[in-house]
Amino acid sequence: MPEIPSILEGMRAADLIDLLLVASLFFIVLTWVRSAQSGSAARRLMALVVIYALVYLAADLFDLYLAQRVLGVLFFVLMIALVVVFQSDIRRLLDRLGSLGARRSPAAAPRNSPVHLLTEAAAHLAEERIGALIAIRGSEPWESHLQGGIDLNGKLSRPLLYSIFNPESPGHDGAVLIEGDRLTRFAVHLPLARRTPPVSRSGGTRHAAGLGLAEECDAFVIVVSEERGTISVAERGELTEVSSAAELRERLEGFWEAHYEPRRTGRRGWRTRRTIETGTISLGLAALVWFLFVYSADTAFRTYQVPVEVRNLPPDWKLNTDRVPSVRVTVSGSEPAFDRLDPSAMVVSVDLSRPQAGTNELAITDENLSLPSGLQLVTTEPSVLRVEAVPQRRLVIPVQVRMEQPLPPGDSIRVEPGSVEVLVPASGRTTPSSIPTEPVSPSILAEQGRLQVPLVLPEGAQLAPGIDSQVEVQLMRSGAARIPSQATPAPP
């Protein structure tokens, strides 16, 4: 088992960013599942995901080919099951993303005024056995879940609530909608819950309606039972009965701070026990996945045949070879580090900006080979590269046009340029007197008038940088202006 210091020493900055990114993804998923409205189905599906991960790890560890193939197919089935089970929660998540930055923070009324009014009104209605359904908007949109209702947009007050829920009132069976300190609509029909809440089995649909809205969005719903004179609260997909008006007030204050006082909530929300637990679990899962799939305590060794690139050779020098031989390099590192290596892009780059005449010995080190982080150069074969460098002289030598046959009497040729700059070995004993061209056919030259003809460089000579390897030969007819040129018949 590798020690923690060795693990941290092998981590890159990119690995840390990768780990935090995956931990954030786990945090979002776990938070979503813990607040999911699918109840036991969500827990069973999460258990299935854990079992799937364990079986996949075992199959990968013991090279179980068939199991890996089957698990690969089941992965897509699992993705479809996630979409089916959490379809409503996915819709809620999209609604929440769409409502970011749209939180309402009504500050016209004192902080506790709406909470105080709603608590006293609910307690009074419960004492009088008058049924009531009060929905308080959260941060998420809820229009698509509501039906009917009558617009009011009145100032929230106890008399207004009592008059709406009066059994003689036409709209007393519906729900009232609260946004901040305003009562916006009444006699509204809410969606019914997908499962019957236990507290509503004695009869009535108010509890099912309150839970139904809490399943679809983050609204806070107060339900007063006219049969039993009790108060229930629907929030985050759960319906619970409160034991007293004080408990209702506490629940309301928590909701109000979360949705209508974002400044205080911004510091408090991140410190809740639930959030800390989810963050710790997410970071632990990300670290476990990184350790299992990314980190490798075993060091691998691999050997590659790598080409050599000679750079910065002065223009007045040349290598006494057409091709620099490649070298064999052995590299060590972890398997994930080798995954980031492209062998086809590897090259040993040596600097020859200060050559010496004759053999130059160039030691090959890790500075000559660019490797991704996590990989080290172990050995090279050969460890020292030997190349022959030859100094050269610059000379301007006239061009000599070689003709396959003599020109007709009176005709001549013109060549541009008449001379070229070449590089020849500085130690050479002889200097070429001219640079010949490839043989030129007089008939073709007479037909076209001018030709581009390649130069034929003597052994050991090369053109200076920027000099064209072809010259232009033009036929000058009898009677035309004569320009001296060198034209010799090509040897038979």
Please list the pLDDT of the chain residue by residue as tens digits (492 residues): 455 555 555 556 666 776 676 677 667 666 655 555 444 555 566 666 777 777 777 766 665 656 666 666 766 776 776 666 666 666 655 655 555 454 444 443 344 468 888 999 999 998 888 989 999 998 888 888 888 888 888 888 889 899 988 888 887 888 999 988 889 999 999 988 877 766 655 456 888 888 888 888 889 999 998 888 889 999 888 888 888 888 888 888 888 888 776 544 444 444 466 677 777 777 777 776 666 555 555 678 889 999 999 989 888 888 887 778 889 999 988 777 787 788 888 999 999 988 988 899 988 888 888 888 778 888 899 889 888 888 888 889 999 999 988 888 888 889 999 999 988 888 777 788 889 999 998 888 888 888 999 999 888 788 888 889 999 999 888 654 444 445 555 555
Q: What is the DSSP letter of 441?
A: -
Q: Which tokens is 361 given?
A: 């010995």
Tell me if domain 300-382 and domain 393-489 are identical in fold.
yes
Q: Which tokens is 236 given?
A: 């985050």
φ, ψ for residue 355, nearest 5 deg: -75, 160
| Consecutive H or E run containing 48 | helix 40-61
142 contacts 101 by C-beta, under 8 angstroms: no
DSSP string, 355-378: --SEEEEEE--GGGB---TTEEEE
258 contacts 269 by C-beta, under 8 angstroms: yes
Q: Which residue has the tokens 């690995």?
A: 15
Q: Which tokens is 286 given?
A: 């990300």
Q: Which residue has the tokens 């046959």?
A: 405
What fold is seen in the domain 113-260? YojJ-like (1 (3.40.1700)
Can you give the pLDDT at residue 96?
54
CATH architecture of 300-382: Beta Complex (2.170)
364 contacts 379 by C-beta, under 8 angstroms: no
Confirm or reject CATH 2.170.120.40 for domain 393-489, answering yes or no: yes
Cα–Cα distance measured from residue 56 to residue 83, given in angstroms and rounded to the nearest whole number: 21
Cα–Cα distance measured from residue 365 to residue 469, given in angstroms and rounded to the nearest whole number: 38
Domains of the chain, residue spans: 4-100+270-293, 113-260, 300-382, 393-489
Q: What residues pair up with 304 in beta bridges, in sequence order? A: 329
pTM of the model: 0.40
Q: What residues pair up with 412 in beta bridges, in sequence order? A: 476
Cα–Cα distance measured from residue 184 to residue 18, given in angstroms and rounded to the nearest whole number: 47
- Other beta carbons within 10 Å of 23: 21
